[in-house]
Amino acid sequence: MRRKVIAGNWKMNMLPNEAIEFVQKLEPLVKDTKNEVILCVPYTDLFYTLNMAQGTNIKIGAQNMHYESKGAFTGEVSAEMLKCIGVEYVIIGHSERRAYFAETDETVNKKLKSALKNELKPIVCVGESLEQREKGETKDIITNQTRLALEGLSPEEVEKVIIAYEPIWAIGTGKTATANDAEESIHAIREEISKIYGQDTSDRVIIQYGGSVKSSNSQELFSMPDIDGGLVGGASLDANEFAKIVNFEN
């Protein structure tokens, strides 16, 4: 059976002192969970949160990386740099990066390959806009994004990737996809993976839901057969609320 993975995405929030306090507060609240707990923090919080999370069940991730390993890319951070300070996860292709920072399916694919080469565990985001949903294009958009993101990977590599299905219209809006809609989309992603990489790989890959996840809707969402936890933005900024989401039990 697949494990549940709950990842917080702090986005551009939390100063180091706030981050330290957060981990101190979260640790006792989630120490008994069987689920995987990840905090994806700003670069400037990585060092502090890695220190605080040492010896706990809280894993630390970054929110972006560059696909090149080094060179003249002012302001960028490579997979190797993240790996060498102890970062375990990295979000790739979040819709905010696609919308505001010119991230494309091609750069997402390159970043994914570089992350895997450096033994980082990528959380790759896919999702449709409201307009695309209204036009009935959801399934095409998300299966296409998934296929392009994973292009060139072996089935063994695909199994190391976490996919986060995040409908863009549900991010930060308070509008959550219904559990049935989220399940339908995630099932379609799983079918696409099965077609290309085989049933076994598709059965093993972790696929999360993201978009206004809160403690009041997480239980219903995470209980769906194809949904393996969540990528949580706003609600991951409050330790008590995030702990409630993390402590999901089937």
- Residues forming the active site: 94, 166
Residue 233 near ligand PGA by CB under 6 A? yes
Looking only at Cα atoms, what is the longest distance across the chain? 48
Q: In angstroms, what is the minimal distance from the CB of 69 to ligand PGA?
A: 27
**Residue closest to ligand PGA, measured at CB:** 233
Residue 166 or 183: the one with the smaller Cβ distance to ligand PGA is 166
Kindly tell me which residue out of 158, 171, 188, 227 binds ligand PGA, with binding defined by CB under 6 A: 171
Paired with 230 in beta bridges are 6, 209
Nearer to ligand PGA (CB atom), residue 202 or residue 212: 212
Q: Which of 81, 232, 245, 246 lies at the binding interface for ligand PGA (CB under 6 A)? A: 232
Q: Nearer to ligand PGA by C-beta: 163 or 171?
A: 171
Give, as ranges, the residues between 5 and 64 that touch ligand PGA (CB under 6 A).
9
Q: Least distance in Å: CB of 230 to ligand PGA?
A: 8
Across 3-18, b (16+ Cβ under 10 Å) vs e yields ebbbbbbbbeebeeee
Task: Quote the least distance from Cβ 188 to ligand PGA, whole Å.
Answer: 20
Q: Tokens for 38? A: 């990840």
Contact string (CB under 6 A) for ligand PGA, positions 149-168, x = contact: -----------------x--
Looking at the Cβ atoms of 41 and 213, the one nearer to ligand PGA is 213
Could you say whether residue 234 binds ligand PGA (CB under 6 A)?
Answer: yes
β partners of residue 184: none
Find, among 80, 50, 78, the residue nearest to 64 by Cα: 78
* Nearer Cβ to ligand PGA (122/197): 122
Q: DSSP string of 116-185?
A: HHTT-EEEEEE---HHHHHTT-HHHHHHHHHHHHHTT--HHHHTT-EEEE--GGGTTTS-PPPHHHHHHH
Q: Yes or no: say if 26 and 238 are a contact pair by the CB < 8 Å rule.
A: no
Phi then psi for residue 60, to 5 deg, are -115, 140
Q: Decide if residue 103 touches ligand PGA (CB under 6 A).
A: no
Give the C-alpha distances (Å, rounded to integers) separating 126 from 21, 32, 156, 191, 236. Answer: 31, 31, 20, 15, 20
Footprint (CB under 6 A) of ligand PGA, residues 196-215: 210-213
- Binding residues vs ligand PGA (CB under 6 A): 9, 166, 171-172, 210-213, 231-235
